Amino acid sequence: MVDVARARKLADRIKVVVAETLETRIKDPRLGFITITDARVTGDLQQATVFYTVYGDDAQKADTAAALESARGVLRSEVGRQTGVRLTPTLTFVEDAVPENASHIEDLLAQVAAADAEVHRAAAGAAYAGDADPYKAPRDEADDADGPGGPGGPGGPDDPDGADGADEVGGADEPDEDVRDPVR
Amino acid 179: pLDDT: 59
Amino acid 147: pLDDT: 54
Across 128-148, average pLDDT: 70
pLDDT at 158 over 60: no
For residues 170 and 176, the answer to whether their CB atoms sit within 8 Å is yes
Amino acid 1: pLDDT: 58
pLDDT confidence band for 26 (50 / 70 / 90): confident
- pLDDT tens digits for range 2-22: 688 899 999 999 999 999 999
pLDDT confidence band for 184 (50 / 70 / 90): low
- DSSP class of 14: H
142 versus 45: which is more confidently predicted? 45
Residues ≥6 apart with Cβ < 8 Å to 65:
93, 95
Across 30-42, average pLDDT: 90
pLDDT above 90 as % of the chain: 42
- pLDDT tens digits for range 57-108: 889 999 999 999 999 999 999 999 999 888 999 999 999 888 788 889 999 9
User: Mapping DSSP to helix (H, G, I), strand (E, B) and coil, where does residue 69 land?
Assistant: helix
CA distance 47 to 67: 20
Cα distances from 153 to residues 134, 143, 164, 176, in angstroms, run 24, 11, 11, 27
Strands (E), 28-184: 33-41, 47-55, 90-95
Amino acid 15: pLDDT: 94
CA distance 133 to 124: 18
CATH architecture label of 4-99: 2-Layer Sandwich (3.30)
Residues ≥6 apart with Cβ < 8 Å to 10:
41, 45, 48, 83, 85, 89
Domain boundaries, the chain: 4-99
CA distance 169 to 73: 103
